Amino acid sequence: MEIAETILKAYIQKAKLGNQVAFNFLLNSFWNDVYGFQLKRVQNENDAEDITIQTFSKAFDKIDTFDEKYKFKTWLITISKNVHIDFLRKKKTHIETTPEQEEEVYRIIDDGPTPEDKIITEQNLAKLLRDIKKLKPHYQEIINLRYFQELSYKEISEQLQEPMNNVKVKLLRAKKLLAEINQKQ
C-alpha cells in the first residue's frame, strides 16, 4: 500500500508527539513490509514476527530521531536489519535465567489496565473467547494477560521476559488482528 507523502508526514509528526492513533496507523501501514522483509531473511514466521515487533518497538521508542529527508520505510527496514543482527547474536549467547532471578530484577509495579482496556473485558465474553482462539498462541497469551488477568504492561513484560515496548506492539497487533476477525463475521 503506497501512502501519500503528505499524509505519511502528518502521521509521523503526530507520532513524534505521542499520538497513539498515529502509531497504530504507522504499524498497520508498514507491518507487512517489515514482516515480509524479515520472513525472506529468517524463513521462520515466528522469528520474523518477533523481529518485526521489536523493530516497531524500537522505531516508536526513537521516532523523534527520524529524519524526514529519508523514506520512513527505509528507516524501518534499517532498524529491522539491526534488530535481526541483535537477534542472531542473542541466539549465540543466550543465557538462561531462573524465574526467581527474573522476579528479583522486576519489582516495580506499573499502572493497571486503563478504562479503555476494561471495556474489552466487558464485551460479549463467549464470542470474544471464540475470536481470540483464532489468533496465534502468543497473541492469545498477551490478550489473556492484559484483559483477563488484568496485568500491567510491566507485569506482562516480566512474565513474558520481553521488553515493555515489545509487549505494547504485540498487544497493538493482537487487537488489530482481533478486530479483523470480528469484522469478517
Q: Which CATH number does the domain housing residue 136 bear? A: 1.10.10.10
pLDDT at residue 105 tops 80: no
State the pLDDT at residue 115.
54
State the pLDDT at residue 179.
84
Total domains, the chain: 2
The mean predicted confidence, pLDDT, of the chain is 82
Instruction: State the Cα–Cα distance between residues 170 and 71, nearest whole angstrom.
Output: 24
Decide which of 97 and 9 is more confident.
9
Q: Are residues 158 and 115 in the same domain?
A: yes
Which among 77, 92, 107 is the end of a domain? 92
pLDDT at residue 60 tops 60: yes
State the pLDDT at residue 98.
67
The sign of the CA dihedral 77, 21, 131, 150 is: positive
State the pLDDT at residue 149.
84
Q: Are residues 109 and 175 in the same domain?
A: yes
| Residue 176's pLDDT band (cuts 50, 70, 90) | confident
In 133-163, alpha helices (H): 137-143, 153-160
Residue of 58, 77, 65, 69 whose CA lies nearest to 9: 69
pLDDT at residue 72 tops 90: yes
Task: Provide mean pLDDT across the span 115-140.
Answer: 72
pLDDT at residue 110 tops 60: no
Q: Are residues 81 and 138 in the same domain?
A: no
pLDDT at residue 102 tops 80: no
Residue of 166, 179, 139, 142 whose CA lies nearest to 56: 166
> What domain range is 150 assigned to?
99-184
State the pLDDT at residue 93.
63
Decide which of 136 and 117 is more confident.
136
pLDDT at residue 92 tops 80: no
